[in-house]
């Protein structure tokens, strides 16, 4: 990757971190975002709010888990690294402490098929990964299990995680997911929602296989 291309990717990664804050997904130093590059990933740094960062503060973490840069990578680099290793189709990963997603995560709730848009994230439910201390291999393993066949999960007593094909897609999905979490939270204030059946969700999941993709030919 040329220096000019690398700088452009660094700038885009930092812009995504700013956009996360602007969208209300994060405040302060919470959360992190990464993008796949040749030989590894670029990830936001540890303990630095986006407003204090420059593109040069984005940290390279290679496929073997070693980091290079003038600051340390996010303490959550491990689950980004492991998810890229396990899922070659993933191009960007976003983790946030968004208000409604985090509220549900603190209840350790799996989001059921109360709305067909659950299928946007790969299945009939959005799972909640089991709790483990941040930055640990145990947390990464729990997230990999919750993300099996999915593009989003909650993280118990922690927040949300979303994967996408690129940074724009990951950000869009994170905003959609937080909206869905808010809708579920509000629905539960009224009572238990009426859930879609397995057959109804299977049809929606199939439709989402081509949703938003260019037509062949």
User: pTM of this prediction?
Assistant: 0.94
pLDDT tens string 98-139: 999 999 999 999 999 999 999 999 999 999 999 999 999 999
Question: Of the listed 6, 56, 76, 110, which one is catalytic?
Answer: 76
Q: Does the active-site annotation cover 110?
A: no
Closest Cα to residue 57, out of 170, 49, 65? 49
Domain presence at residue 213: no
In whole angstroms, give the CA distance from residue 21 to residue 26. Answer: 5
Domain presence at residue 214: no
Domain presence at residue 188: yes
The pLDDT score that the predictor gives to residue 216 is 53
The pLDDT score that the predictor gives to residue 68 is 86
The pLDDT score that the predictor gives to residue 3 is 81
In whole angstroms, give the CA distance from residue 115 to residue 90. Answer: 25
Closest Cα to residue 145, out of 170, 127, 122? 127
The DSSP code sequence of 163-184 is EESSHHHHHHHHHHHHHHHHHH
pLDDT tens string 159-186: 999 999 999 999 999 999 999 999 999 9
Question: Which pair of structure tokens corresponds to residue 19?
Answer: 């956009």
Domain presence at residue 85: yes
Domain presence at residue 76: yes
In whole angstroms, give the CA distance from residue 45 to residue 138. Answer: 21
What is the residue range of 180's domain? 3-207
Domain presence at residue 217: no
Domain presence at residue 193: yes
User: How many structural domains compose the chain?
Assistant: 1
* CATH code for position 115: 3.40.225.10
The pLDDT score that the predictor gives to residue 70 is 86
Contacts of 111 (CB under 8 A, 6+ apart): 104, 118, 125, 126, 128, 154, 180, 181, 184
The pLDDT score that the predictor gives to residue 26 is 93
Whether the pLDDT of residue 211 is over 90: the answer is no
Domain presence at residue 131: yes
């Amino acid at each position: 990757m040329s220096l000019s291309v690398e700088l452009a990717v660094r700038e885009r990664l930092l812009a995504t971190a700013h956009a996360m804050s602007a969208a209300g997904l994060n405040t302060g130093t919470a959360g992190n975002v990464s993008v796949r590059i040749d030989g590894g990933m670029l990830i936001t740094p540890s303990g630095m709010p986006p407003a204090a960062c420059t593109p040069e503060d984005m940290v390279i973490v290679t496929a073997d888990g070693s980091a290079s840069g003038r600051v340390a990578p996010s303490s959550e680099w491990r689950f980004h690294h492991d998810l890229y290793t396990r899922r070659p189709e993933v191009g960007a990963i976003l983790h946030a402490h968004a208000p409604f997603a985090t509220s549900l995560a603190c209840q350790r709730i799996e989001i059921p098929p109360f709305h067909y848009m659950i299928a946007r994230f790969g299945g009939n439910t959005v799972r909640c990964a089991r709790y483990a201390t941040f930055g640990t291999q145990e947390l990464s393993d729990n997230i990999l299990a919750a993300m099996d066949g999915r593009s989003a999960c909650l993280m118990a007593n922690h927040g949300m995680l979303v994967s996408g094909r690129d940074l724009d897609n990951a950000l869009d999905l994170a905003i959609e997911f937080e909206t869905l979490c808010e809708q579920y939270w509000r629905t539960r204030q009224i009572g238990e929602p009426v859930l879609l059946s397995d057959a109804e969700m299977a049809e929606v999941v199939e439709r989402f296989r081509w949703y938003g993709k260019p037509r062949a030919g």
